[in-house]
Structure 1
């Protein structure tokens, strides 16, 4: 029986921290060796971190990447396990690559063939595509090497590896960013891919946050019939070891002969003999972790994004303006889960328009979380602004100007605390507000990281509800869920004075932003035409605000950030 023991190092690297990433790799190597593994797979570009972006243009970065690859190779000298690790290969150009390490040497290199250049990806800006397949040989077992996008391509190089070269396993080093539903999509896709080509797949995905991207892990091993052998935890580091019965490949091919009629491309191939399979005296039982429900999945992504952005950028504590509303409440619970209550500071900044219930809700939330709070009123400062501007404003009625002054005073308070104590300001605006411009530039938009900038208002409520259920008690006060949302910048103000009900607004925004529908197509789905035009115009007119907003965790299929590149200067109006 052909049995291959594979270990997947689902780890969280830090971009540019070669020393830290090397330490993680060496620890994983020790574990894989102790477990008697034949093959150890790391994520895509694990040694330098992903995505390196314009660090790719620094020769010093490329040289360090090569130096640490050779250092890791030296640690394999007395090991029997074969290592596949992501790094940047460079000679006359740069390549997104995987190195084969064993016996203290680099035995081979595979260069990624299919480079994504859509959504958040810019790989063709930095890398040249590879042109050669790489197959590892262990006794009579063949393993094809691929990197991330290679396996998402519908046909190649999977067809050439499985049908042309007859590999038993396709190993995939991946850094696949998260969006809502991606874990389930990936799981179903790879199962079907393995079934279609009658080849087992071992897919090792990165975990952790890098600026606005988060990687969810969820590493996968499926056999040639498409059966899930192992599924890793999401948003957690994990070393996964699996025993694969590769006789299943032949059995599936005999029972389902469809693949005999597929003609793969004739790519050049390099075969690297890495020695024989190791003798095994034990068996690793497969573990398939469940995929969490939607709200839990989103929450874990947001917690990971905050934790890694704060920690990887050298901050310890964060500060949040607590209004007693739903958005700041959710940001506070996310920050507390990510960093611990001792590292989260809340600031209440009441004005003459702040309701008693809002103050009580904010204080109750802070007590429930156990976070320290400060109360710094803005009323006197606001009055001094009005007094200073009264001659210039003479003859004009109060309007949004006075509302924005209040928001900017609060932004100044938070930034002053940040400067004085080194706390990172977390902004609290959601995607519905950012899309429509219902936010104050240099006011409530002021800060270093926008935690829920890619979460629609309706989802903010859903995640908040889930959180209280998960905790088994009322952390976010019930009144926060039931009271009408309001910025409380003037008497009796509510969000719905300027925006449609969020249940309708969010559906229009999703169709326009994520699905790319035109206003006319959105209206045909039953939405009021006038409302659709007003909403899409708000999106167009407020691009200048979004360009100046803090970055935040991407959890949707299309977020305002890397995968939204609309011009600010733009007179095109969507026809209806």
Structure 2
């Protein structure tokens, strides 16, 4: 049986556009004489659609699309991710009963509606909120050149069955499936391909059946997270040999032959993890796809001369092209000649339009008006935040006037610790590096220079002491080589403060996170158990106190195992201090 894997980039809610993508892939699959086309999970409606799933008209349009593709599937079978529903049945809240499903269609007929059995309810996966689990798992006959092949159709979590009693793939195999198909909308994070590979090899090793894994590519969102899907669809033969790998971060059609009599495919290697490249390309994909799907064509980036805005500007240029990006430096009396120079050099190196808007006179006027009509400013923090908010106001004016999307440049560590100004530097339509730790910002910035073969981001950017430059002599009050991994462990790693302290005492902290600083000093060189406990408790306290900021910030491009937003669910009222 010749199988075509359609690694597609659907747009949430665009049933017509997604259908056209599927039809185009099917035409190419027919041209390559495929017997079967397999597409990703919920490819017709899009995977992240929120409560649009409750709209009866939308459900009907999704069902009509299945019929349209079935009519076009002449001489080929297609497996399509869609929303199945039963108008005669209701959920416990009175809504239409729905299923995350796959339609198997051919020659104008729907041969099977395979419903997802295992529904995830973690991270930003809300399948249990919207869908009813499938109760039956049966193979379906697929006409092929060698005869009818029994295929077992499963959907994403059905394969991740370790903590479930129901084992969909084993049941399909036991019922006679000769090939296993798994439709996915599986998000990216560094190292994810090796998790998928280990899982699939376990299934194939137990069941001795070929397995076809088709993944979505592109970006979707849940309102607070822009979720990146990396593609990298996979095919394994019945011996567990990897015989095909889809490209990362781009659409593709893979065609392979499986089953008895199929030509022998040579084994292919699983791509090695290239962490910085993959993280960077995921951010570029996330920004580009988010803007394309929301109708933005231009971006504006405020550049301070620091490492964060330099990286954000580079990502914007790679996502959109230099002609579609503008950069502004907004200096006050506290910005040094060094950072002003860096800001200009980064913009010039990347070839973007560059402007300077001094804010000192605006700051003086705002202070004067406030103190004349309210009262004298008493706290230095108030004055410092005025600078950030004046910059936010000016950049939002630029966004409004030109239609450019304003990019927020805060990193994960600063956002976690509340070291960002609400309605100031947190202004923007998207947070490009809000899921990138401060230490990873340095690594990705170094990657920008490495991949270009020239110094895009000046060397001084890596060595100057981080500062928001909101007051004279002000510097960031953190050792980022300690605080950044602490934050990542608390947020992404599900660690509690006491767990981190216990790991420190055993010198068993994750060495991939807690790397030595540029001087070669490790966290163990810098801290005793008592001072490390203080640092962890400070981070946890700051994180609790700044939830209200994060919830009002722009959506964050998610590339880690757990990102702030609707991935890591936080409450503003929280009396727990442990």
TM-score normalised per structure 2: 0.89
Instruction: Name the residue aligned to 2:82.
Output: 87
Distance 2:559 2:171 in 1: 34
1:446 Cα deviation (Å)?
Answer: 0.7
Secondary structure at 1:134 match in 2:
coil
Secondary structure at 2:536 match in 1:
helix
Which segment is superposed worse, 320-329 or 528-537? 528-537
Q: Is 2:439 the counterpart of 1:458?
A: yes
1:291 Cα deviation (Å)?
Answer: 4.2
1:381 Cα deviation (Å)?
Answer: 0.1
- 2:240 pairs with 223, 226, 230, which one? 226
Instruction: Name the residue aligned to 1:136.
Output: 140
Instruction: Name the residue aligned to 1:67.
Output: 64
Instruction: Name the residue aligned to 1:317.
Output: 298
Secondary structure at 1:565 match in 2:
coil
Instruction: Name the residue aligned to 1:510.
Output: 488
Instruction: Name the residue aligned to 2:158.
Output: 150
Q: How does 1:289-438 map to 2 (within 5 A)?
A: 290-391=271-372, 397-438=378-419
1:491 Cα deviation (Å)?
Answer: 1.3
Instruction: Name the residue aligned to 1:448.
Output: 429
Change (3 A) 1:101 1:409: same
Secondary structure at 1:414 match in 2:
helix
* 1:4-39 deviation digits (Å, cap 9, x = unpaired): 211100010101112211111111001111111121
Secondary structure at 2:304 match in 1:
coil
1:173 Cα deviation (Å)?
Answer: 0.8
* 1:87-140 deviation digits (Å, cap 9, x = unpaired): 111113111111111112222211111111111111111111111113122435
Distance 1:408 1:98 in 2: 49
Instruction: Name the residue aligned to 1:213.
Output: 227
Instruction: Name the residue aligned to 1:567.
Output: 571
Which segment is superposed worse, 486-495 or 433-442? 486-495
Change (3 A) 1:132 1:395: closer
Secondary structure at 2:445 match in 1:
helix
> Quick check: 1:241–1:284 contact (8 Å CA) kept in 2?
no
Distance 1:560 1:383 in 2: 35
> Quick check: 2:491–2:562 contact (8 Å CA) kept in 1?
yes
* 1:295-354 deviation digits (Å, cap 9, x = unpaired): 111111111110111110011101110111110011111111111111111011011111
Instruction: Name the residue aligned to 1:29.
Output: 26
Instruction: Name the residue aligned to 1:188.
Output: 198
Distance 2:265 2:103 in 1: 26
Which 5+ residue runs of structure 2 have no aligned equivalent?
Answer: 90-96, 505-528
Q: Is 2:188 the counterpart of 1:178?
A: yes
Secondary structure at 1:410 match in 2:
helix
> Quick check: 1:232–1:289 contact (8 Å CA) kept in 2?
no
> Quick check: 2:241–2:267 contact (8 Å CA) kept in 1?
no
Instruction: Name the residue aligned to 1:537.
Output: 541
Distance 1:455 1:379 in 2: 31
> Quick check: 2:243–2:266 contact (8 Å CA) kept in 1?
no
TM-score normalised per structure 1: 0.89
Instruction: Name the residue aligned to 1:127.
Output: 131
Distance 1:336 1:185 in 2: 32
Secondary structure at 1:9 match in 2:
strand
1:557 Cα deviation (Å)?
Answer: 1.0
* 1:493-515 deviation digits (Å, cap 9, x = unpaired): 111x3x2x111002211222222
- How many residue pairs align between the two structures? 532
Which 5+ residue runs of structure 1 have no aligned equivalent?
Answer: 248-279
